[in-house]
Amino acid sequence: MDIDLITNILYAMVRTGTPLLIVALGELICEKSGVLNLGQEGMMLMGAVVGFIVTLSTGSLTLGFLAAILAGILMSLIFGVITMELSANQVATGLALTIFGTGLSAFIGTNYVGKPITGLEPIDIPVLTDLPIIGRMLFGQDLLVYLSLALFGGVYWFINHSRPGLILKAVGENPHSANAIGLPVFKVRYLAILFGGAMAGLAGSYLSLAYTPLWMENMSAGRGWIALALVVFASWKAERVLLGAWLFGLASILHLVFQGMGFSVSPNLLATLPYLATIAVLVILSSNQNSRLVAPISLGKPFYAKT
């Protein structure tokens, strides 16, 4: 492969991995609190369609991204109320949220399918963008790519070096003990759920406002599910989420790699690679007894405050 092809592959890898990174960071915080939200796909689609409609109506990308974040928060609030207040099963509620978000996004976006907008443009940083191989990959991206890296740094610091992060982990490991020493378990879990929803909405809007600036039904194409697997792949460690997102992003564009190398392979077959990689990761990790020990102990378990 020549340098130009490698440069383009790395550039596409980062762009493709960005929505995965954003939604996985939100899910990581959510799961660290002991809450398993499987509704990422539905929240992403709602963020994508709401962000697109607002941007098309107002001409403002900023308002579009903010509206998408709000849509994700509202969707996650539905999940929070049902699982926290009504003590419903988290897995069933998350699946229902995905089905609801998929259907609702298709319904409200019917009249906007295929309508183009001017999406988020890349920002070229002088001199740095011209660096060989890594220049365009790291210094020729759009603003949301840089924001995703900032979010990664913030989440990493929050979990590993802050007192609220320590409280979050305490709630996720043993909510009853945390409640006994006066920690606000419900508040912590609600905030984690809302943060996860905001990140899912933002990730969805990246798809419709930057990655492919248009709206299509089911345009998240399973990225919400891949992000769930990514959190497991990262062993619930923030520092591994970035690497995992880029690796899954690379798996999603392997058809470009093979085409660039001159191989004739069915694009439909290659399109299955990121999902095959997801299945492979889950199978390997589930067979490893040690990997089960790193998950928050109370993950997916409801909390009942004793009165």
Please state which of the ranges 72-76, 79-83, 142-146, 236-240 shows the lowest mean pLDDT.
236-240
Name the band, by pLDDT with cuts 50, 70 and 90, for residue 307: very low
Q: Give the per-residue pLDDT at 122.
A: 87
- pLDDT, averaged across the chain: 88
**pTM higher than 0.85, yes or no?**
yes
* Tokens representing residue 221 in the block: 């194409």
Cα 109 to Cα 62, 176, 216, 234, 272, distances in angstroms: 20, 43, 8, 34, 26
> CATH 1.10.3930: does it fit domain 3-292?
no
| pLDDT reading at 306 higher than 70 | no
| Range 274-299 average pLDDT | 71
Residue pLDDT, tens place only, 85-131: 988 999 999 999 999 999 999 999 999 998 889 888 888 888 888 88
Identify the residue with better confidence: 152 or 130: 152
Domain positions in the chain: 3-292
| pLDDT reading at 278 higher than 80 | no
- Tell me which residue of 65, 105, 56, 73 sits closest to 218, measured CA to CA: 105
Q: Which amino acid belongs to residue 11?
A: Y
| pLDDT reading at 220 higher than 70 | yes
Residue pLDDT, tens place only, 237-246: 888 899 889 9
